[in-house]
Amino acid sequence: MNLILLFPEDFVAPDRVLLTGRRLRHVLEVHRAAVGESLCVGEAGGLIGSGRVLRLEESGLEMAVAFEQKPPPPLPVTLLLALPRPKVLKRVLLTVTSLGVKRIVLLNSVRVEKSYWKSPALFGEGLREPLILGLEQARDTVLPEVLLKPLFKPFVEDELPALSAGTICLVAHPPAQLSCPREVSGPVTLAVGPEGGFIPYEIGKLQEAGFVPRALGERILRVETAVVALLARLF
């Protein structure tokens, strides 16, 4: 937790917050801050600043907060990700949030197990938690938007063209001839398939929607590794 992300309900006055729960525990056990010390804080969706510890006890952490600095710039990318299994999903969401991705579309594919769409990792706190952890890791404040698209064909045919208009459209596809471009200028829509890859029909539909297949070399990588490697190359 390199930044403590603050939400409206944390404020007891315009410049004062009271924290309990996970964030209190972390400050007690990991930061071990003393009264008078300052911690990095950020207002969800807003600025970064510092919080001076006024009180730190088992019952709560009280800080006087002031905000002055913009969060780091986002990555100009929309990530289309074939829904991974819940444990991997949590790790990928945390990781791509820490890298600055602000729009994530979780997509169906023939190789996505149907049960994954019922996972608690897709809803409410289960979905929010890795996003918040990712922001806290990277000292960012702006939560990404996560869209769920459990129907591949209608999404790719009817919604994707508008969603990806004006962007460089790439689909990670290990057998592709061309390799993923480096340091692109301009926004990107990047599609990443499931373990085992998109099936040829799905690659074909993405190509019809303007996506160009690109590879990352002959090694087969885990989804969570491939996504980071692709984003690091592109930006």
Q: What mask, x for binding a second copy by CB under 8 A, covers residues 197 to 226?
A: -------------------xxxxxxx--x-
- Give one word for 29, left, alpha or beta, with left for phi > 0 and alpha for psi -120 to 50: alpha
Q: Is 229 in the site for a second copy (CB under 8 A)?
A: yes
Stretch that binds a second copy, among 16-24, 186-194, 202-210, 227-235 (CB under 8 A): 227-235
Nearer to a second copy, 139 or 173 (CB): 139
- The distance of closest approach from Cβ of residue 216 to a second copy in the complex, given in angstroms and rounded to an integer, is 8
- The distance of closest approach from Cβ of residue 49 to a second copy in the complex, given in angstroms and rounded to an integer, is 15
Nearer to a second copy, 51 or 197 (CB): 197
Residues 87-116 that bind a second copy (CB under 8 A): 95, 98-100
Cα 16 off chain centre by: 28
Stretch that binds a second copy, among 12-20, 118-126, 134-142, 157-165 (CB under 8 A): 134-142
Which helix H or strand E contains 98, and what residues bound it? helix 86-99
**116: helix, coil or strand?**
helix
- Among 137, 142, 167, 210, indicate the residue that binds a second copy (CB under 8 A): 137
Q: Based on the number of CB atoms within 10 Å of its own CB, is 64 exposed (0-12), middle (13-18) or buried (19 or more)? A: middle
As given in the structure block, the two tokens for residue 48 are 């970064």
Nearer to a second copy, 23 or 139 (CB): 139
- Among 139, 173, 205, 214, indicate the residue that binds a second copy (CB under 8 A): 139
Nearer to a second copy, 63 or 180 (CB): 180
Q: What mask, x for binding a second copy by CB under 8 A, covers residues 144 to 183?
A: --------------------------------------xx
Residues 13-72 that bind a second copy (CB under 8 A): 72
Angle formed by the axes of helices 124-138 and 86-99, nearest 10°: 40
**13: helix, coil or strand?**
strand
Angle at 128 between CA 99 and CA 137, to 5 degrees: 35
CB contact at 8 A, 53 and 139:
no
| Closest residue by Cα to residue 48 from 63, 70, 65, 27 | 70
Q: Rounded CA gap, 122 and 220, in Å?
A: 26
Residue 95 dihedral angles phi and psi, to the nearest 5°: -65, -50
Interacting residues with a second copy (CB under 8 A): 2, 72, 95, 98-100, 137-140, 182-183, 216-222, 225, 228-233
